[in-house]
Amino acid sequence: MNEINVCFGNQVKQIRLEKGLTQDSLAVMSGLERSQLSKIESGLVDVQISTVQKLSNALKVEIGELMQTRDLSMHPFVKWAGGKTQLLDRLIALMPKEYKDYYEPFIGGGALFFKVKPRHPHINDMNDELLSAYRCFLKKDSCDRLMAKLDEYDKNHSEDNYLIVRALDKDKNWQANADDVERAARMIYLNKACFNGLFRVNSKGFFNVPSGKKKTVNAYDKVNFINVLGYFSVSKPVITHEDFSKAVNNAKSGDFVYFDPPYDTWDDKSSFTSYDKEGFGKKDQARLADCFRELDKKGVKVMLSNHNTKYINELYSGFEINVVNAKRMINSVASGRGDVEEVIIRNFK
């Protein structure tokens, strides 16, 4: 696919959606075949200037605006514990200006990833429900099916339906047969409808967050989904599901790795670290520090965020450590929310 066609197609689709038009109605208004419009929006065809003119008239926007490959602005499609949205400015200021491939082995909601839009991304997480959603953006067909399924969940939302959807992971038949789209739709809907946007599973691996008791749910932002689809079609992210140490095996000199692991805990503070049934303990933090050092030796640029605990400071002594203040918004225990000190650690200046 040609990058310019993809950006142009995205621009047409974004403006069409902002104006509340369906593909059918824009096809009629512009005098184009619907199938041709669909190909244009998917970035599959070169567009003639006469076609651009027709679309600009139908959408009532200047040709210049239509041709502007608007900066694809994206944001996380799930609310994720430990999400880095409020530290973004600090992280961006501290990350390298130039690098080859981008690795984010604890991708979670991907706040930094969606902000930076790296050209050659490798993303990874141990949570395969979450990855099923990322994989849906690799193909237009699966992204369309995901949106349709989420529309259905939103429309049928009720307390009873929440419980039915939540219980699907206990249904052996569903577990055996659900594809990425179905898993992703369930995960995103539950994330938006549950209490406090938490993804938490019990010791058996079943999602167990209570309902947020919302009257209505808007599980996704259509323009954001379309932008993610467009970005993925150009950047073709490598998406893996393995332990962080394996996910960075191929990182080479000049690449950039950003580690945002589950937090180390203070003994006296309650923090959320159990994204999956195994959890992430002190030994894992030590394994991660070893991995950080290995990458450093290979000439990879590495940045890591964590709580400002004594243990983390000891593990990374000798590296560049910046202390920053952050607000913890998601915690099952209210006393675990509020201001906390975090560190951003780097092997470069």
Q: Where does this chain bind ligand SAM (CB under 6 A)?
A: 80, 82-84, 105-106, 108-111, 124-127, 243-244, 260-262, 275-276, 280
What does the block give as tokens for 312? 């983390």
CB of 68 to ligand SAM, least distance (A): 29
- Closest to ligand SAM by CB, 154 vs 243, is 243
Residue 248: both structure tokens together: 């960075």
- How far apart are CB 72 and ligand SAM at their closest, in Å? 18
Nearer to ligand SAM, 110 or 237 (CB): 110
CA-nearest of 44, 50, 32, 61 to 8 is 44
* C-beta of 9 vs 108, nearer to ligand SAM: 108
User: From CA 218, how far away is CA 216, in angstroms rounded?
Assistant: 7
Nearer to ligand SAM, 155 or 246 (CB): 246
Q: Whole-number minimum distance, CB 117 to ligand SAM, in Å?
A: 14
Residue among 27 and 302 whose Cβ is closer to ligand SAM = 302
Q: How far is the CB of 66 from ligand SAM (least distance, A)?
A: 33
- At its nearest, how many Å lie between ligand SAM and the CB of residue 116? 12
Residue type, 73: S
* Orientation angle between helical segments 222-235 and 3-18, nearest 10 degrees: 180
- Closest separation in Å from C-beta 246 to ligand SAM: 9
Comparing CB distances to ligand SAM, the nearer of 126 and 344 is: 126
